[in-house]
Chain A
Amino acid sequence: MSEFRMPSLGADMEKGVLVEWNYKEGDRVKKGDIIALVETDKGLIDIEVFEDGIISEIRILPGQEVPVGEVLAVIGDEAGEIKRAGSKKTEPVKKAKKQKKERIRISPRARRLAEKLGVDIKTVQGSGISGTIDGDDVERAAGLKKPETRRTEFAEPGEEQRTDAQNRMRKAIAAAMSLSNREIPHYYLESSIDMTKSLRFLENENRKRSIRERFLPALILIKSVAHALRDVPELNGYWEVDQLLIKQELNIGFSVSLRKGGLINVSIRDADKKKPDEIREDLNDMITRARAGRIRSSDITDSTITLTYLGDMGAEVVYGVIYPPQVALVGFGSIQQRVMAHDGMIAVRPSVRVTLAADHRATDGVSGSRFLESLNEYLQEVEKIWTNGK
C-alpha cells in the first residue's frame, strides 16, 4: 500500500489542479505509467506513478485544486486490497476515461467556461503554452472577446501580450527567483574556456554519424560539467534545514526555453553515468515534450544542479540565479570566435565564457575555482570522458 500524492514539481510549486485521471479504481499500473494530468504554473504536466500496483482508491476528483503532498490516490499491492468504490467516486473517473480518447489540452477554468458558455472545445484554437486552451481562448471563441484585446497584466498597448498560462509561468519563475535572491547569498566566478579541441572532437564524431544522431555542442558541456562535479561534489546538492546535503545522484537540470516565453528545466538523470548517446536521446525526448506541452513529472523533478546554455546565438555571458534548494548553477554564454592568447601568440579561437553561481552558505570560492578548473581540463580532453565514466 502506498499513497500517491500531489508531487512537488519545483520549489515554486505550492499547489496543483488535478485535471484528469487516466486510470480508474481497480486498474493495474506499472512504474512510469502516466496516471494523471495535473495543471500547475508550469502548464499541464503528465504525472507518472513510481511503483507497480493497483489503484485501490481515488481521493481527488478532476477539477479539484490541492496542495503539494496531498494524497490523490491509494495504490495497493494486490488485487485483494482493492477497496470497493462508491458510486460517487467512480462517476468522474468514467468521464476522465472518455476524455482520454481525444485529449485536448485545456485548463480547468477554460473547461468550466466552455461548459457554461456552450462552446465546443474541439473548435477552440489554444493560445497557451504549446497550444493549451485557456480561459481567454474560450471567451474569444464564444465571441465575448476580440482577438486583439487579450487580458494581460503588464503589457502596454502595442506590446506583445501574454496569455493566462504565460502569465502564470512568469509568476512562478518570479516567485522561485525572488526566493532565491532573498535567501541565497550568491557568489559568482567566471572563466573563459578555449573550445577549439572539444569542437574539433565533436566535428570528427559527427562526421561518422547520420544527421539524426549528431551531437550539438551542449552535449560536451553537459558531459564535462557532470565530470567536474564528481571532482567537486559539494556543488551538487541541496541546502536544507541550514545544512548542505551533498547528493549522490547527479541530475543536471538543463534550461529549455519555450517559444512562447518562459522556460522549463528538464532533468538529465545520472548525467555522469550515462553515455553521450543516452543523454542526447533523453534530451531530445524531453525538449520535444517540453515544447509540445507534454512534459512529464519525471522530466522536471530531482535536478541536483542547473546548467543553462544560451546557445550559439545567445549573449556572451550569463549570471544565473540558483534554483532552490540547489546550491549552484553553471551558466554558459554563446560559443564564439574570440581573440585570445594561445601558445604565446594572439590567436582567434572559439571560446565560451562560463560562470558559476554558487550558494555561499554551502561553499566558497575555493570550491568554485576548483570546479571551473576541472571543467576546463575536461573540455580540453573530451575524448577521455566521452565513452565512459571515470
Chain B
Amino acid sequence: MDERQIKETVFRELRRVAPEADLNQLGPSENIRETLDIDSFDYLNFLIALNNDLGIEIPESDYDQFTTLEDIVLYISSRIN
C-alpha cells in the first residue's frame, strides 16, 4: 500500500465523521481534530475504522501520533509495509 492509497483510506474515514469538510484544504501538518472540529467520540470511531480497514493495532499510547495527516500516513506506512 503506497502513500496515496493510505491517504485515500484516511480521507474516506474522515469523510464519514465530517461529511461536510473539504479535505483538499487540509494541510499535511494541521491538527486534524481542531481543523475539522472532531470530538473524541468521533475520533475514536475514526481510529476504530482505520484499525478495521488496515488491520493495524493502535494502542492508546499512540493516539497522539494520529494528530496530523503526515503523522498518520507515516505511522500507517511504517506498520503496514
Contact = CB atoms under 8 A, between A and B. Distances in A.
Q: Do A and B assemble together?
A: yes
Given A211-B51, A212-B48, A259-B18, A287 B41 contact: yes
Contact of A206 (B40, B47, B51, B60): B60
Nearest to B21: A259
A106 B40 CA distance: 30
A211 B39 contact: no
17 contacts: A203-B61, A211-B48, A211-B58, A212-B51, A214-B44, A216-B40, A216-B41, A217-B40, A218-B41, A259-B18, A260-B20, A291-B42, A311-B40, A312-B40, A313-B33, A313-B34, A313-B40
B20 A203 contact: no
B67 to A, nearest CB: 12
A310 to B, nearest CB: 9
A137 to B, nearest CB: 14
Given A203-B61, A214-B60, 19 more contacts: A203-B60, A206-B60, A207-B60, A211-B44, A211-B47, A211-B51, A211-B58, A212-B48, A214-B44, A216-B40, A218-B40, A218-B41, A259-B18, A260-B20, A287-B41, A291-B42, A311-B40, A313-B34, A313-B40
A257 interface: yes
Nearest to A127: B20
Which range contains the number of A residues in contact with the other chain? Answer: 10 to 19
A211 B60 CA distance: 8
Nearest to B60: A206
Interface string A280-305: 00000001000100000000000000
Nearest to A256: B41
B39 A311 contact: yes
B46 to A, nearest CB: 11
Interface residues of B, number: 19
Nearest to B57: A211
Nearest to B42: A291
Interface in A302-323: 311-313
A312 B41 CA distance: 10
B6 to A, nearest CB: 18
Max chain B C-beta neighbours (<10 A), residue from A207, A211, A214, A287: A211
Nearest to A203: B60
Max chain B C-beta neighbours (<10 A), residue from A206, A257, A313: A313
A378 to B, nearest CB: 21
Contacts of A216: 40-41, 44
Interface in B61-79: 61
B15 to A, nearest CB: 12
Contacts of A287: 41
A259 B20 contact: yes
A216 B45 CA distance: 11
Contacts of B47: 211
A217 B37 CA distance: 18
A291 B39 CA distance: 12
A216 B48 CA distance: 13
B19 to A, nearest CB: 8
Contacts of A212: 48, 51
Contact of B39 (A203, A214, A313): A313
Contacts of B58: 211
Contacts of A259: 18-20, 37
Contacts of B33: 313
Contacts of B59: 207
A214 B39 CA distance: 16
Contact of A257 (B39, B60, B61): B39
Nearest to B18: A259
Contacts of A217: 40
A287 B44 CA distance: 13
Contacts of B51: 211-212
A218 B44 CA distance: 13
Contacts of A211: 44, 47-48, 51, 57-58
Max chain A C-beta neighbours (<10 A), residue from B18, B41, B59, B61: B41
